[in-house]
Structure 1
């Protein structure tokens, strides 16, 4: 009888049955479970609002949400000269959305896309430059849409409706300006001092700026890339705002759709610097305040925001986390 032979295993060591990559695949699902438990009351109320809403408008909101991933893929491709695999790029944006809701705002999607570009053969310096160009274009697109809507509908937001009678009319930001201005000035002085006296940091920043400017020039010499970059950066916040407007119509919020879009853009710009995972908590509060300022009743505005966040955040979160784990296992990212 032929003797069975087993691979030699070094003494004192066991074979690796659970590679690190397999363990990382489960991390997104664990984070989703933790987030769902922490926000279970919001989830229950949000799903309750969906039961009473008009389904055609909810489907329109879901379609607008899906289009945001297409817009993000277009903008990502427009930010880099090297062509990226289209299908994998689109799937990566879906997975990056889940990562963005599980980590502080912007970090999850940025990390996923930076890794994706590196795997696709884009050099690290150009990947970082493309990421910076994407963030710049997305910010310019969001602020540009907000400015255009403010010009078109200057009376859409009425902050005075949020202010109790007898209180000061001075905005909180201005009332605390005496403390805010020195803090901002001090931070700018510290940054300038660091760049002036730390040579290695200064050289690294200068090299990054050269790479970023070079990548931006290369992108804008190609009309297709420039169109994808700026078209996608405008379409992304427009689709998000359209989704909120559709949910508002589904729940009969008495606010014009254009005013709801303006409220959405104003709220997201206001909370852009709040380091919470996916803006969970801060975005809801800002959206409710903005919709009330646009003329909506507080109770209906709260229902609209909860239903909107369920459609755009919580429903895609589990499949997005599964997709993220699959991309990690398949070494796409």
Structure 2
């Protein structure tokens, strides 16, 4: 059974690549026209995202995790996140890694939730800070007719209220959630009593989206996108926050569409913007996908996860 699990990630990569072969061809075509130094900068930022993720994951638990295995797990988790609905693949890999390291399942789940919460807060916080610093970075009126924002927000608010009401009506779910929250709060308190862990958690959580945004800005500069780098960072953060609720594998398709829309609202021409987004996704998703899948298979074979 384990050899089959080792080969499964590679098979899934092949299936996803065949399905998106036209996107891959267009993306590599954009890379051929790009300025190499800026592409190297984008690749460097992408590599540092795995270091930032490893720091954040370590900061979410009190126990010291094996560093090399933790870093390799983040690389493998990146591939898993693009093969399963957003967040599920990476979460499953990290959850399995922590349980193999000896953490009880309840505490591993709490640590996973703590990291996701910290990364979400950091992403939204960075977006809010950049919007305050650059209030005209995005122009939603380019795509939304006047008055469309109110009904959209109302619909989202109604959906959130309905979801909360459903949760409150389900007694078992409420009890399970209450127990989980107690464990998560205990884990959060323990982590924040150790300055080194708190620094790793929040430093990694803020660095992760910041490095992703920097990678997009570098690709934009490589392809001559006429948008200021700070505005490209705002567009990236806004797009990723917007697609967080769309359950597609790794955001494939939804992320590209959201990034194109966000960069167009930031003032980028559609043609250049499309090339930038495709090139960016080649660097951050497709090039690491095969080695990431192979690493995932190796970690399964070695029983690291």
Aligned-pair CA distance for 1:46: 0.2
Distance 2:194 2:153 in 1: 44
Deviations 1:78-97 (A, max 9, x none): 00001000000000000000
Distance 2:159 2:212 in 1: 33
2:146 to 169, 174, 180: 169
Q: How many residues align?
A: 305
Distance 2:242 2:157 in 1: 18
Distance 1:114 1:160 in 2: 42
Q: CA distance change for structure 1 residues 177 and 92 in 2, over 3 Å: closer, same or farther? A: closer
- Tell me the residue number matched to 1:123: 104
Q: Is the 8 A contact 2:235 2:259 kept in 1?
A: yes
The question of 1:248 aligning with 2:229 is answered no
The question of 1:99 aligning with 2:77 is answered no
Aligned-pair CA distance for 1:205: 2.1
- Tell me the residue number matched to 1:33: 14
- Tell me the residue number matched to 1:4: none
Q: CA distance change for structure 1 residues 154 and 220 in 2, over 3 Å: closer, same or farther? A: same
Distance 2:98 2:233 in 1: 32
Equivalent residues in 2 for 1:46-195, closer than 5 Å: 46-162=27-143, 168-171=145-148, 174-175=150-151, 181-194=157-170
- Tell me the residue number matched to 2:265: 293
Larger radius of gyration: 1
- Tell me the residue number matched to 2:200: 228
Distance 2:213 2:157 in 1: 32
Indicate the SS of the match to 2:227: coil
Distance 2:297 2:153 in 1: 45
Q: CA distance change for structure 1 residues 139 and 254 in 2, over 3 Å: closer, same or farther? A: same
Distance 1:224 1:107 in 2: 28
Indicate the SS of the match to 2:244: coil
Deviations 1:287-320 (A, max 9, x none): 0011111111110000000000000000000000
- Tell me the residue number matched to 1:309: 281
Distance 2:209 2:268 in 1: 21
Indicate the SS of the match to 1:315: helix
- Tell me the residue number matched to 2:190: 218
Q: CA RMSD in A?
A: 1.3
Aligned-pair CA distance for 1:160: 2.3
Distance 2:288 2:115 in 1: 23
Distance 2:211 2:257 in 1: 20
Aligned-pair CA distance for 1:187: 2.5
TM value normalised by structure 1: 0.89
TM value normalised by structure 2: 0.97
Aligned-pair CA distance for 1:243: 0.2
Aligned-pair CA distance for 1:186: 2.7
Distance 1:214 1:277 in 2: 32
Q: CA distance change for structure 1 residues 205 and 295 in 2, over 3 Å: closer, same or farther? A: same
Q: Which runs of 5+ in 1 are unaligned?
A: 1-19
Deviations 1:167-214 (A, max 9, x none): x4122x5335665554443322211111xxx3x443322221111000
Q: CA distance change for structure 1 residues 183 and 240 in 2, over 3 Å: closer, same or farther? A: closer
Distance 2:42 2:253 in 1: 21
Structure having the higher helix fraction is 2
